[in-house]
Structure 1
Amino acid sequence: MHSLTLNSENREEVTAALAGERWIVACLCAAWCGTCASYRATFEELAARHPDKFFVWIDIEDHADVVGDLDVENFPTLLIQHHDLVAFFGTMLPDAGIAHRLVQSTAAQSDEELQELIINNQERADWQRHCNLHTLLRDAL
């Protein structure tokens, strides 16, 4: 297993990973969702291709206290974050190639480049306030 599934026992581990240098790739899903169930293998494949990043699977219903206010419109939804900078938040096609290219291109950006994108894009600025996984987890602990 290359990703971690968020549960009540490992929230502090995930919080610590968010405070570190690694990029975080979170898949927001629901147990009842057939697309999510089939995407799980793709997410594991993606995690195996990017061992330098921290991958976490989050069931939005089991962990509504963490992500309950996030506007997850469809599944699978990916959240990619580095430090306290949310670099991507959105629904993905359940395709390994597309997800790989997204993770690769996102992680190629420096924090300064991400800051520039955040300053110049209202949606990205909103992600910082509403989708920051580090803040959401810290507030739920």
Structure 2
Amino acid sequence: MTVHVACLCAAWCRTCESYQQVFESACAELPQDGLHVRWIDIEDEADLIGDLDIETFPTLLIADAEHVRFAGPLTPQPETLKRVLRAHLADATPARVAPEYVELAGRLRTRG
């Protein structure tokens, strides 16, 4: 089963600038089979983001073929990211999220 992990950030955000390497390193430590990782600049990929209004950076989305497992902002510490990734990659329980996150997950599934 493919699991999408997307970090939603903005080029102008200084926190995001330093967080991209943290995100990529943490994701590289995960089993890669079926894992699709994306760094998404919300302004460069506004058509992908749709109506989702991101107010806090970084924001993480974890979704599989059926539902969203996690969606929301994270504190920008590596251990927080690793803990969230491990927990939600191991647990396929659907998260209660805004419809805009579900729509984004659907677009990620269809656009690869």
Same fold (TM over 0.5): yes
Determine which structure has the larger helix proportion and give its number.
Answer: 1
Contact 1:89/1:131 (8 A) holds in 2: yes
CA distance in 1, matches of 2:19, 2:109: 27
**Distance in 2 separating the partners of 1:138 and 1:51:** 19
Percent identity at matched positions?
43
Count, aligned residues: 108
TM-score (norm 2): 0.84
Taking CA–CA contacts closer than 8 Å with sequence separation of 6 or more, which of the two structures ends up with the larger relative contact order? Answer: 2
1:95 to 77, 85, 88: 77
Normalising by structure 1, report the TM-score.
Answer: 0.68
Structure 1 residue ranges without an equivalent (≥5):
1-20, 119-123
Match of 1:37, SS? helix
Larger radius of gyration: 1
Pairwise CA RMSD: 2.0
Shift of 1:44: 1.1
What residue ranges of structure 2 are gaps of 5+ in the alignment? Answer: none
Q: Pick the aligned partner of 1:135 from 84, 98, 106.
A: 106
Deviation beyond 4 Å, 4+ runs, structure 1: 137-140
Counterparts of residues 11-90 of structure 1 (less than 5 Å): 21-52=1-32, 53-90=35-72
Rounded Cα–Cα distance in structure 2 between residues aligned with 1:136 and 1:66: 7
